[in-house]
């Protein structure tokens, strides 16, 4: 008995051709291939996104480890370490050392203990001290307090709000301004005023020091040889100093610290300094 087309035994396999013959079969294959390619493309995109995400995470982690906080260059609170620029020169055959302080604030100080202060980059004796009673010669203002009275010498140095003014005057408003502003003031021999030499009565020869305005800076100038006031002042004029007053010379102790932190001492420190020994210092 013949079997119907719809009947099949357990041990038979029926091959069913897709409807539409060979053309239809080819179309379906193309459809399947397109779907497979699309699936592969989607999978590739997903994998790429996952890998990209991993890379971003890894970079973030590296930055978190290696990034160094930077301080803004214009931050006013950044403190610079002060130092003194030291230059040796010869003017008209006279050897000199020019000391220019940088990033340091000028002040006055009473007492030789400042010679051992770690925060001071330069110190030089300022006003003279009397030989009879040990008092400071001339008007002297310390942090707004008038410590000593008297004119004695026409040259003066006023330090107000961290700025030094050097001048010559028998009476000057800078004395009162220094008191009112909590500043500093002392008197010394004038050496140069307005690029002009000032004559002084003492005629001896000694190692000389000056506080001077030179090339737009306030500097300390030291002679290597013993000079008279006249010769020293003339040398300062020759080098172009605008204004200058004397600082205690001879073997008076002082020091300066250069950019590398090396300290250079000048003069000889007295084993028994007078209590009123005073200094102009830069911190």
Check whether residue 53 and residue 127 sit in a common domain: no
In this structure, is residue 14 part of a structural domain?
no
Residues near 100 by Cβ (< 8 Å), separated by ≥ 6?
84, 85, 86, 87, 217, 219
For residue 146, the enclosing domain spans 83-282
Check whether residue 116 and residue 52 sit in a common domain: no
Determine the pLDDT at residue 13: 41
Determine the pLDDT at residue 150: 86
Check whether residue 135 and residue 264 sit in a common domain: yes
Check whether residue 43 and residue 92 sit in a common domain: no
158-177 burial, b if ≥16 CB within 10 A, otherwise e? Answer: bbbeeeebbbbeeebebbeb
In this structure, is residue 8 part of a structural domain?
no
Check whether residue 46 and residue 159 sit in a common domain: no
Residue carrying structure tokens 């003339």: 234
Check whether residue 225 and residue 194 sit in a common domain: yes
- The alpha carbon of 127 is separated from its chain's Cα centroid by a whole number of angstroms, namely 29
Give me the tens of pLDDT residue by residue for the chain, a chain 283 residues long.
444 444 444 444 444 444 444 444 455 455 455 555 555 555 554 444 444 444 433 333 333 333 334 334 444 445 678 999 999 999 999 999 999 999 999 999 999 999 999 999 999 999 999 988 999 999 999 999 999 998 789 999 999 999 999 999 999 999 999 999 999 999 999 999 999 999 998 889 999 999 999 999 999 999 999 999 999 999 999 999 999 999 999 999 999 999 999 999 999 998 888 999 999 999 9
**What DSSP element (H or E) covers 110?**
strand 106-110
In this structure, is residue 15 part of a structural domain?
no
Nearest residue to 88 via CA among 103, 74, 98: 98
- pTM for the model stands at 0.72
Determine the pLDDT at residue 151: 77
CB 140 within 8 A of CB 120: no
In this structure, is residue 31 part of a structural domain?
yes
DSSP at 170 = S
Determine the pLDDT at residue 63: 31
């Amino acid at each position: 008995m013949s079997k119907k087309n719809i009947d099949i035994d357990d041990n038979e396999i029926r091959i069913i051709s897709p409807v539409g013959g060979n053309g239809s079969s080819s179309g379906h294959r193309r459809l399947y291939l397109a779907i497979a390619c699309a699936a592969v493309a989607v999978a590739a995109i997903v994998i790429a996104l996952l890998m990209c995400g991993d890379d971003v995470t890894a970079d973030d982690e590296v930055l978190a480890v290696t990034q160094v906080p930077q301080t803004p260059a214009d931050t006013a609170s950044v403190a610079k370490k002060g130092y003194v620029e030291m230059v040796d020169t010869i003017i008209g055959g006279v050897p000199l050392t020019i000391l220019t302080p940088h990033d340091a604030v000028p002040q006055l100080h009473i007492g030789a203990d400042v010679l051992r202060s770690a925060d001071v980059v330069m110190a030089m004796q300022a006003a003279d001290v009397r030989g009879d009673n040990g008092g400071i010669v001339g008007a002297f203002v310390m942090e707004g307090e008038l410590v000593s009275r008297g004119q004695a010498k026409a040259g003066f140095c006023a330090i107000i709000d961290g700025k030094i003014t050097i001048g010559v005057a028998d009476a000057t408003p800078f004395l009162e301004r220094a008191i009112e502003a909590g500043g500093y003031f002392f008197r010394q021999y004038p050496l140069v005023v307005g690029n002009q030499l000032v004559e002084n009565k003492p005629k001896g020869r000694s190692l000389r020091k000056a506080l001077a305005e030179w090339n737009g800076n306030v500097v300390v100038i030291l002679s290597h040889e013993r000079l008279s006031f006249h010769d020293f002042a003339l040398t300062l004029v020759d080098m172009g100093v605008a204004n200058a007053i004397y600082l205690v010379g001879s073997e008076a102790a002082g020091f300066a610290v250069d950019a590398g932190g090396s300290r250079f001492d000048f003069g000889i420190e007295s084993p028994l300094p007078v209590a009123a020994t005073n200094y102009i210092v830069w911190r």
